Amino acid sequence: MQKRKLGKSNLEVSAIGLGCMGMSFGYGPAKDKNEMILLIQAAVERGVTFFDTAEVYGPFTNEELVGEALAPMRERVVIATKFGFKFGPKGEQIGLDSWPEHIKQVAEASLKRLKTDFIDLFYQHRVDPDVPIEDVASVVKDLMHEGKVKHFGLSEAGVQTIRRAHAVQPVTALQNEYSLWWRKPEEEVLPMLEELGIGFVPFSPLGRGFLSGKISENTTFDHSDLRSTLPRFTPEARKANQALVDLLGKIAKRKKATPAQIALAWLLAQKPWIVPIPGTTKLHRLEENIGAASIELMPDDLREIESAASKINVQGARYPEKLEQMTGR
């Protein structure tokens, strides 16, 4: 597995990471813990060194899973987790909270669940409009001075917020959704990251599974699967967006690869400081995703994808309005 550096930082990770959320949360019922521990460890054995979790996934259970799985091989891996949500008495998510005291409490709790002395990359999960980003950056800077955090990250932040944060404490990585079916980061975010030397970690690089070609207009989702609430996953939108999967399939056939591998290879070809974090709960999918790192898309391939994709109008918003309002602040 090739390595990549996230921007100008010295944080080196595998070219493809592993998003662990879906093992515990978000895409139907939580999977068997022991099976997921073995899957995470299998990823390390195959060269993956970058693992993504958050306190809100579960909540809390995903960090516990990742911590238990990686404790025996902690020195070989980079663990990213996130703060910024507020929870009710039953663990339900009830809003945002990035006040400094809360961030410190989250850091301590995450360290315990992750069974570690330090968090490699600590992201603000969503920008809290009530708390100046300078205060957020400052408290993470303090945690870094204490040795509890190694790197500061932001997720789904807007360009002005990133600049303001970066002026207080250099941001190592930004985590936003980015894939062939969500290309908004190309407008303002990617040029700014290049300017400031910040790495980019695309989540949902396979369009929440859609770009793998394994989801059709007839697929049904469990009520606990967040895709059942997303406008982009209505049957009508899936039918319209199949054109993008067909395009990936066409290139994949020529490259003796899969649509998912082409989608990931396309992301890797955009910038040398982009590290996608596809999630999976299956070993054969993990191996398929890892295989994308060795697929080289030539300039002609990229031009063909660009030309064809520009004619496809992706249907459906990626989030319901309330969730979309929490992004790009």
pLDDT, tens digit, for every residue of 164-221? 999 999 999 999 999 999 999 999 999 999 999 999 999 999 999 999 999 999 999 9
Report helix, strand or coil for 191: helix
- Partnered with residue 200 across adjacent β-strands are 174, 274
How far apart CA 66 and CA 36 sit, in angstroms, is 9
4-32 residue pLDDT tens = 999 899 999 999 999 999 999 999 999 99
- The model's confidence at residue 93, banded by pLDDT at 50, 70 and 90, is very high
- The model's confidence at residue 246, banded by pLDDT at 50, 70 and 90, is very high
What residue spans define the domains of the chain? 3-206+270-295
Segments in the chain forming alpha helices (H) = 33-45, 61-70, 100-113, 133-145, 159-168, 189-196, 235-255, 259-270, 283-291, 299-309, 321-324
Place of tokens 């303090």: 142
Is 3-206+270-295 CATH 3.30.465.10?
Answer: no
252-269 residue pLDDT tens = 999 999 999 999 999 999
pLDDT of 280 reads 98
Which pTM does this prediction carry?
Answer: 0.98
Is 27 one of the annotated active-site residues of the chain? no
DSSP letter string, 167-189: HHS---EEEEE-BTTB-GGGTTH
Q: Higher confidence at residue 91 or residue 237?
A: 237
Q: What residues contact 315, with CB distance under 8 A and at least 6 apart? A: 232, 236, 237, 240, 241
How far apart CA 280 and CA 176 sit, in angstroms, is 18
Q: What residues contact 294, with CB distance under 8 A and at least 6 apart? A: none
Report helix, strand or coil for 23: helix
pLDDT of 220 reads 96
Exactly one of 57, 123, 178, 319 is catalytic; name it: 57
pLDDT of 83 reads 98
Give yes or no for a contact between 130 and 102, defined as CB atoms under 8 angstroms apart: no
DSSP 53: -
- How does the average pLDDT of the chain come out, rounded? 97
